Structure 1
Amino acid sequence: MQVIYSNRSDINFNCSTGVGLGNFDGLHIGHMALINTLIREAKLNGLSSVVYNFTKHPENILRKKLITPLLLTEQKKIDLLSEICLDYLYFDEFNEVFSRLSPEDFVRLILINRLHIKLAVVGYDYRFGYQGQGDTDFLKELGKKYGFRVIVVSPITCENEIISSTRIRELVINGELETAYKLLGRNYSITAKVVNGRRVGNTIGYPTANIHPERFLVLPANGVYITKTLIDGKFYNSMTNVGYNPTFEDCKQKNVETHIIDFNQDIYGKKIEVFFLKKIRNERKFESVEHLIQQISKDMLEAREYFGIGQ
């Protein structure tokens, strides 16, 4: 898969393309169904498959202060899509000038002139152009006018619920990671470099790897989670606390602190990925450090039982 940024490349497609259109802000089961449809139909028709996306979520440009939390970083999106048979991932820059393009101008200037589109694959609720004025019916009309076919993918459901990024965000924010897994098709994860913390974990016998995720990334509800941690291509059993450490002096910044079970390597400065499997309990303030240590011991026992490992 080739990754292309519109503002860093003057590439002109010299081939006809099939293009997947949408925010793809979660790459959940519904998004992947659309992209797999795109890849299959593009191959059948001798087209190059392209997922068209933006470097920034359009809502975070248009709404300014009302930020839409993201379910994955740009790099995670690249990593996930590189695992399938997609030809191109095309990142365009969404800004206020771009947002004022009419639906037809978007099709003509971007899809026709730049991408040489012959097939568009979109979700049932896809909207485009200034203030979302274009819908799937209008896209089909423009397809007839400019000579490309449009496939509209029906909503994908799980347990009678339409899968959407909005719903998955709610689940992650509420700490319902096991349900989020069903809709995402993978465990929710956070990637960041390990940074120096206050080393409180070392003083109580449970050293942690502290990470500060990207600003707009969704963080699970405050609490303790059973997790898996990926370091240098290898998975380790772990337990992760998300929150403000209220038993000690409360932090102003929400922290993600991971204790990697039976692990004693120095990983400061390394990039790690923490996969959230199950919530153990909510974060709370304990009467003393001793009470906190007792609770962490109980949490660790539950984590070890989950992984099927002894003390």
Structure 2
Amino acid sequence: MADETFDVARLEGAVCAFGVFDGVHRAHRFLIGQAVAQARELEKHAVALTFDIDPDEVFHADRLRKLMTNDDRLRALADTGVDAVVAFPFTEAFAGQPPADFMQRAFGAHVPRALHVGHGLRFGARASGTVADLERWGAVHGMEVHAHTLVQAEGSPISATRIRLLLQEGKVSEARDLLGRPYRIVGRVVPGRGEGAQMGFSTANLSVPPACLALGEGVYAGYARIDGETYRAAVSVGVSPVFSGRTDAVCEAHLLDFQGTLYGAALSIDVTHFLRPMIKFDTVDELIRTVLANIAWVRQHL
């Protein structure tokens, strides 16, 4: 963490990639890969520069939908081939500085050799800083700036916003292609209604911060991981109209062939298929038949 205890001298001469990197998707990994390649050529350290939180957690918390938790994002960045990940603490005061002050506070006298960014990067007070500001600052302080056009897929740039929109529409296969891996839900199992076992399909009620659940309502299939083991899973996102007003559970998963107790356990689910939208059933029996059919599909196809 690049707080007051961080030795900013570690950035001097390094080749850095800078961004929020929500999702650490294919376009992010391309940009970071360019920084790593230059660092290896110059025999310098490669560093991923980011923030400890998503800036929208400060400015747009009411509508924020992230592709991964902050901790998972930092772990994913560490797996991109860089030598270090440096996360600046994001605060309104830090973000509210003029672009030149923002850069000066970030690096001081310990300027990186090069900085790789997306060509549309905005930073500093009211997002007024642009790549041109970076280039002017870099020209004075001896830092190269490499602005990269976003990697495209099917004629459009790959971006976290594009992926979020796909997930909201239940298009998990298309989102996976842009992420480079399945979308993952991460949470902790908490007590739920307890009715699933009586219906023939016990479920784990997964507590997920709303900002970290980008999927639209519906029923999905995927792979759940707990304690190093993997299970096929049917996952419900949203509240069935049958239970409207009786529960606040928004993410429930049935793990096929799981035996044991899940309460309190950390659980992650890689979502691979959209099965159906949320349906208003006329009876509980109709719901049971449909859910059992969804579970049978998972057993047959995963």
| Same fold per superposition (TM over 0.5) | yes
Residue 36 of structure 2 is aligned with which of 25, 35, 39? 39
Residues 172 and 218 in structure 1, CA contact (< 8 A), matched pair in contact too: no
Amino acid at match of 2:70: E
Query: In the alignment, is residue 75 of structure 1 matched against residue 74 of structure 2?
Result: no
After TM superposition, the structure 1 = structure 2 runs for residues 180-259 of structure 1, keeping only pairs within 5 Å, are: 180-251=175-246, 253-259=248-254
Residue 55 of structure 2 is aligned with which of 58, 61, 66? 58
Aligned to 1:144: 139
Deviations 1:230-269 (A, max 9, x none): 1122221111111113213434635211101111122221
Aligned to 1:163: 158
Residue 265 of structure 1 is aligned with which of 260, 266, 282? 260
Name the CA distance, whole Å, in 2 between partners of 1:48 and 1:112: 18
Structure 1 segments unaligned to the other structure (5+ residues): none
Local SS of the residue matching 1:247: helix
Deviations 1:24-67 (A, max 9, x none): 1121111111111111111211222221111222233234x643
Name the CA distance, whole Å, in 2 between partners of 1:124 and 1:135: 9
> 1:8 Cα shift?
6.6
Q: Report which stretch shifted further, 244-253 or 93-102.
A: 244-253
Amino acid at match of 2:57: N
Amino acid at match of 1:219: A
Query: How many residue pairs align between the two structures?
Result: 301
Residues 191 and 271 in structure 1, CA contact (< 8 A), matched pair in contact too: yes
Query: In the alignment, is residue 6 of structure 1 matched against residue 15 of structure 2?
Result: no
> 1:278 Cα shift?
0.8
Local SS of the residue matching 2:300: helix
Residues 237 and 252 in structure 2, CA contact (< 8 A), matched pair in contact too: yes
Name the CA distance, whole Å, in 2 between partners of 1:254 and 1:59: 25
CA RMSD in angstroms comes to: 1.8
Amino acid at match of 1:69: R
Local SS of the residue matching 2:293: helix
Deviations 1:257-294 (A, max 9, x none): 11011111222211110111111101122122211111
TM-score in terms of structure 2 length: 0.93
Deviations 1:181-214 (A, max 9, x none): 1111110011111111111111101011111112
Amino acid at match of 1:95: T
Q: Report which stretch shifted further, 13-22 or 186-195.
A: 13-22
Local SS of the residue matching 1:138: helix
Name the CA distance, whole Å, in 1 between partners of 2:233 and 2:278: 17
Residue 148 of structure 2 is aligned with which of 140, 153, 163? 153
Deviations 1:153-194 (A, max 9, x none): 121111111111111111111111111111111100111111
Local SS of the residue matching 2:286: helix
Query: In the alignment, is residue 20 of structure 1 matched against residue 20 of structure 2?
Result: no
Residue 289 of structure 2 is aligned with which of 288, 291, 294? 294
Name the CA distance, whole Å, in 1 between partners of 2:225 and 2:33: 27
Residues 100 and 129 in structure 1, CA contact (< 8 A), matched pair in contact too: yes
Structure 2 segments unaligned to the other structure (5+ residues): none
Residues 111 and 143 in structure 2, CA contact (< 8 A), matched pair in contact too: no
